């Protein structure tokens, strides 16, 4: 599973940093046009995925997640391959929309591994799996930059599709899904929830709601700058190897992720995932906002590396925390809703970034997203206080009536 995640993440990030440059090859467009459409093309995949992710989660809970992994990997490979033959921004937009239907390989793999892991070790194990994703994300932009500079966009898309197809073969022949069989007593006591009841559980729990909103905000902040990163690098660098340098600035965040993600998950298993999340959400804007005022490429690379170290723990800690809060029989669906909120952030971020950059500047995108990261820390603090009061009332009630 680690190698499959590595291949999918690496292949996806081969092309994502260069969407704006690819759009620019379709015609003689203004900078504001390219910036806006880069946001739209980047975001449409995640808008469609926002609606389909809970569906895949529910199907996975019922029929097994390996089937979902195969469907998504083959679908992604097919759509990416066709992107190399796009002749207009509309054609690219449609293909990215189709890709949204089958996007979800990495989130499904996280749910797949998490469901077969003890809750006490979930943060550490998911963190280990996440290293495969971030390692791929680290290598992908660098390799993609070299391929684009050397061979052009069409060959880069073709190679990317082939590598994702290889990941699907790894899943088909190398992954075995172990069905968790509950004891007879547990089966009798375990309730089966309808989709309406699952939604009721999610929206009634302030901590779950806070986690999903935090997921949206964090993803929106992170993705607000990604489609614009190549353009931003071109503003502070005069080098001819623009695609490679944009890939470097993009992937260095993945290196920070790689070095920290497992350690953050392990720390959350020991001291509590909500405490680790608070640390991450407070410190992430401290390294994100200063990226708006850099004057040299090395400054941007350093800040993005430090930012990557901080955000490396978000996914494993949020995933493990949700596992602690959600009943076993609906964990896949609840995680599916969390993935939907993540995709919602992936939609809002690029669109927000594109609009802000076109009206103001790319630097303003850093300021805006950093403020939202501070807001997400406040949401977690409020939810934690409500949870503490709820637990205190329950303890008081038990002491009163027992």
Least-confidence region, from 115-119, 160-164, 207-211, 323-327: 115-119
How far apart are alpha carbons 277 and 255 in whole angstroms? 20
Q: Are 80 and 160 in contact (CB under 8 A)?
A: yes
Any domain includes 65: yes
Nearest to 323 by CA among 139, 177, 119: 119
Any domain includes 19: yes
Whichever domain contains 150, its CATH number is: 1.20.1250.20
Beta strands in 87-135 (DSSP E): none
201, pLDDT greater than 80? no
Q: Are 375 and 248 in contact (CB under 8 A)?
A: no
How far apart are alpha carbons 322 and 324 in whole angstroms? 5
Across the range 63-69, mean pLDDT stands at 76
Across the range 184-191, mean pLDDT stands at 49
- Burial (0-12, 13-18, 19+ Cβ within 10 Å), 317: buried
**Range(s) of the domain holding residue 287:** 2-174+196-391
Across the range 370-383, mean pLDDT stands at 86
Q: What is the pLDDT of residue 137?
A: 67
Quick: pLDDT tens for 319-362. Answer: 777 777 776 666 666 777 777 788 788 778 878 888 888 888 88
Q: Of all residues in the chain, what percent carry a pLDDT higher than 70?
A: 77
How far apart are alpha carbons 83 and 27 in whole angstroms? 16
Q: How confident is the model at residue 185 (pLDDT cuts 50, 70, 90)?
A: very low
Quick: pLDDT tens for 269-285. Answer: 788 777 888 888 888 88
**Phi and psi (nearest 5°) for 86?**
-65, 135
Distances 105 to 69, 101, 226 between C-alpha atoms, Å: 6, 11, 20
Helix runs in 242-291, H state only: 242-271, 273-288
Q: In the 8-state DSSP scheme, what is residue 178?
A: P
Across the range 285-313, mean pLDDT stands at 87
Of the two residues 215 and 205, the one the predictor is more confident about is 215
**Total domain count, the chain:** 1
The sign one gets for the Cα dihedral 280, 263, 220, 153 is positive
Q: How confident is the model at residue 181 (pLDDT cuts 50, 70, 90)?
A: low
Compute the C-alpha angle 230/159/8, nearest 5°: 75
Q: How confident is the model at residue 120 (pLDDT cuts 50, 70, 90)?
A: low
Q: What is the pLDDT of residue 184?
A: 45
Query: CA-CA-CA-CA torsion for 263, 265, 266, 272, nearest 10 degrees?
Result: 130
Q: What is the pLDDT of residue 119?
A: 60
Distances 145 to 39, 214, 382 between C-alpha atoms, Å: 20, 31, 43
User: For residue 71, how far is the Cα from the chain centroid?
Assistant: 19
290, pLDDT greater than 80? yes
Quick: pLDDT tens for 151-176. Answer: 788 888 888 888 888 877 877 887 77
Q: Of all residues in the chain, what percent carry a pLDDT higher than 90?
A: 2
How far apart are alpha carbons 198 and 327 in whole angstroms? 10
User: For residue 51, how far is the Cα from the chain centroid?
Assistant: 16
Across the range 286-310, mean pLDDT stands at 88
Nearest to 343 by CA among 33, 76, 170, 103: 103
Any domain includes 367: yes
Q: Are 251 and 141 in contact (CB under 8 A)?
A: yes
Spell 62-83 as b/e; 16+ CB within 10 A means b.
eeebbebbbbbbbbbbbbbbbb
Q: What is the pLDDT of residue 367?
A: 92
Of the two residues 46 and 22, the one the predictor is more confident about is 22
Nearest to 110 by CA among 361, 322, 347, 277: 322
């Amino acid at each position: 599973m680690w190698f499959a995640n590595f291949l999918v993440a690496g292949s996806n990030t081969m092309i994502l940093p260069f969407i704006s440059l690819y759009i620019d090859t379709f015609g003689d467009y203004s900078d504001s046009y390219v910036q806006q459409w880069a946001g739209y093309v980047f975001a449409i995949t995640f808008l469609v995925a926002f609606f389909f992710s809970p569906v895949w989660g529910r199907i996975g809970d019922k029929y097994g997640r390996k089937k979902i992994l195969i469907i998504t990997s083959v679908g992604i490979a097919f759509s990416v391959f066709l992107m190399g033959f796009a002749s207009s921004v509309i054609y690219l937009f449609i293909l990215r929309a189709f890709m949204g239907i089958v996007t979800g390989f990495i989130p499904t793999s996280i749910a797949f591994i998490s469901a077969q892991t003890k809750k006490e070790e979930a943060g550490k194990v998911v963190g280990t799996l996440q290293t495969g994703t971030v390692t791929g994300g680290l290598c992908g932009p660098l390799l993609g930059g070299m391929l684009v500079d050397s061979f052009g966009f069409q060959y880069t898309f073709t190679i990317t599709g082939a590598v994702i197809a290889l990941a699907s073969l790894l899943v088909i022949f190398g992954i075995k899904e172990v069905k968790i069989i509950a004891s007879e007593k547990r089966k009798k006591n375990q309730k089966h929830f309808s989709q309406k009841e699952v939604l009721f559980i999610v929206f009634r729990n302030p901590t779950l709601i806070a986690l999903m909103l935090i997921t949206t905000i964090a993803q929106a902040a992170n993705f607000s700058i990604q489609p614009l990163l190549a353009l931003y690098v071109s503003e502070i660098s005069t080098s001819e190897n623009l695609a490679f340098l944009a890939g470097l600035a993009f992937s260095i965040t993945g290196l920070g992720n790689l070095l920290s993600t497992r350690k953050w998950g392990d720390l959350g298993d020991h001291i509590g995932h909500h405490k680790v999340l608070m640390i991450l959400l407070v410190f992430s804007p401290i390294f994100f906002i200063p990226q708006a005022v850099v004057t040299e490429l090395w400054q941007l690379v350093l800040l993005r590396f430090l930012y990557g170290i901080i955000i490396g723990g978000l996914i494993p800690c949020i995933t493990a925390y949700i596992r602690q809060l959600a009943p076993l029989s609906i964990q896949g669906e609840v995680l599916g809703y969390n993935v939907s909120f993540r995709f919602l952030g992936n939609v809002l971020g690029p669109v927000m970034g594109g609009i802000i950059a076109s009206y103001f500047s790319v630097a303003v995108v850093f300021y805006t997203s950093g403020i939202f990261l501070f807001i997400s820390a406040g949401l977690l603090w409020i939810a934690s206080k409500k949870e503490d009061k709820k637990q205190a009332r329950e303890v008081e009630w038990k002491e009163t009536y027992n």
